């Protein structure tokens, strides 16, 4: 394509935005609102996921070693077996001595009661604290561990795992629904804008057809217009989300609530996501704008 034609196409797209500025403003308004909602949903999901993954890290399987395993060689072999299980991440060995020591500390001033069980009298089993990579496979992994002959019992935090998993599932499901609805709304807005522009420019379009402009050439200014609409909306929405996020973070850091302060430590700072967010917004705007107009310009133009 010649540069003069390219210039023409961009100029036409931009001109059309300006000529129909009232309608363009309305379309941008709705698109910005949609994108703010999508962006907020994404940031919310990101934070929930961050918090959930923190709690996931705290989750571990405790596997108690069978009493008949006593020598260091046997323990090493068992440890090796645990490492070969697919989903295991960190594996920490807790000897019965350490376990007893922990319990004595937990008992505090009554700890001395347990002191006589130290050494030969220690009835506690050795144990492994095992973190998993994928929390949704927690139960399978626990079963595999329990099946090992050197393991007598396994304890897993099933309830917590289930809760975390369902939080994550609900958040991502809501996210998908919100995004889908807003995507449809955005496309309708683009379709409507393009429809009105096609109507406003029907004279030029019919002349273009008579003088032998190609379909692509006739359609391109509309695609440029849609793309500009999407891009402008994306940048505006980004600024609003940015300001809004900083405001919420600021508020969360000062508010007087124990649990919020606790959670605040796991909030994702804006600096950590600003680039991805900007790229995401622009991609969404350009995508919705250009694809939307591409779909609908053919429908209304009938070139």
Partner 1 sequence: MIEFSNVTKRYDNGTRALENVSMTIERGEFVFIVGSSGAGKSTLIKLMLREEKPTSGIIHVNGFNLNKIKRRQIPKFRRTLGVVFQDFRLIPNMTAFDNVAFALRVTNVSLRDIRRRVPYVLGLVGLASKARTVPEKLSGGEQQRVALARALVNNPDLIIADEPTGNIDPELSYEIVELLHEINKKGTTIVMVTHEHELVSQFNHRVITIENGTVVSDVPPREDEEDGGYRL
Q: Which residues bind partner 1 (CB under 8 A)?
A: 1-2, 4-5, 8, 203-204, 206-215, 217-218
Please answer whether residues 190 and 300 qualify as being in contact, where contact means their C-beta atoms are separated by less than 8 angstroms: no
What is the number of other CB atoms lying within 10 angstroms of the CB of residue 21? 11
Of the pair 45, 208, the CB lying nearest partner 1 is at: 208
| Least CB distance to partner 1 at residue 200 (A) | 12
| Least CB distance to partner 1 at residue 229 (A) | 22
| Least CB distance to partner 1 at residue 48 (A) | 51
What is the number of other CB atoms lying within 10 angstroms of the CB of residue 186? 26
Ranges of beta strands (E only) in the chain are 61-65, 88-94, 127-132, 151-155
Of the pair 24, 47, the CB lying nearest partner 1 is at: 24
Please answer whether residues 52 and 122 qualify as being in contact, where contact means their C-beta atoms are separated by less than 8 angstroms: no
Distance CA 137, CA 134 (A): 6
| Least CB distance to partner 1 at residue 164 (A) | 56
Backbone phi, then psi, for 103, in 5-degree steps? -65, -40
Of the pair 70, 214, the CB lying nearest partner 1 is at: 214
Query: Please, how many CA atoms are within 13 Å of residue 69, restricted to the half-sphere of its CB?
Result: 21
Instruction: Name the residue among 284, 281, 277, 279 with its Cα closest to residue 46.
Output: 277
SS3 state at 208: helix
| Least CB distance to partner 1 at residue 176 (A) | 38
| Least CB distance to partner 1 at residue 209 (A) | 7
Of the pair 170, 207, the CB lying nearest partner 1 is at: 207
Of the pair 22, 80, the CB lying nearest partner 1 is at: 22
Of the pair 105, 215, the CB lying nearest partner 1 is at: 215
């Amino acid at each position: 394509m010649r540069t003069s034609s390219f210039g023409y196409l961009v100029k036409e797209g931009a001109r059309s935005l300006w000529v129909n500025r009232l309608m363009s403003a309305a379309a941008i308004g709705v698109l910005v609102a949609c994108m703010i909602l999508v962006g907020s949903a994404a940031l919310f999901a990101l934070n929930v996921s961050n918090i959930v993954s923190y709690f996931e890290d705290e989750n571990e399987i405790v596997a108690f070693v069978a009493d008949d395993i006593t020598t260091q060689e046997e323990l090493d072999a068992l440890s090796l077996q645990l490492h070969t299980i697919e989903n295991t991440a960190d594996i920490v060995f807790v000897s019965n001595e350490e376990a007893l020591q922990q319990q004595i500390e937990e008992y505090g001033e009554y700890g001395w009661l347990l002191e006589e069980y130290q050494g030969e009298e220690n009835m506690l089993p050795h144990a492994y604290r095992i973190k998993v990579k994928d929390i949704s496979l927690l139960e399978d992994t626990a079963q595999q561990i329990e099946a090992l002959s050197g393991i007598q019992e396994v304890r897993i935090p099933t309830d917590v795992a289930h809760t975390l998993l369902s939080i994550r599932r609900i958040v991502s499901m809501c996210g998908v629904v919100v995004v889908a609805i807003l995507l449809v709304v955005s496309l309708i807005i683009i379709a409507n804008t393009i429809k009105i522009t096609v109507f406003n420019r029907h004279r030029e379009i019919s002349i273009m057809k008579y003088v032998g402009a190609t379909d692509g050439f006739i359609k391109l200014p509309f695609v440029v217009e849609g793309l500009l609409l999407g891009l402008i909306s994306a940048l505006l929405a980004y600024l609003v989300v940015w300001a809004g996020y900083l405001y919420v973070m600021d508020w969360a850091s000062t508010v007087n609530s124990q649990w919020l302060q606790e959670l605040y430590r796991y909030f994702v700072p804006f600096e950590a996501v600003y680039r991805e967010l900007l790229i995401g917004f622009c991609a969404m705007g350009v995508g919705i704008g250009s694809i939307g107009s591409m779909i609908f310009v053919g429908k209304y133009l009938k070139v």
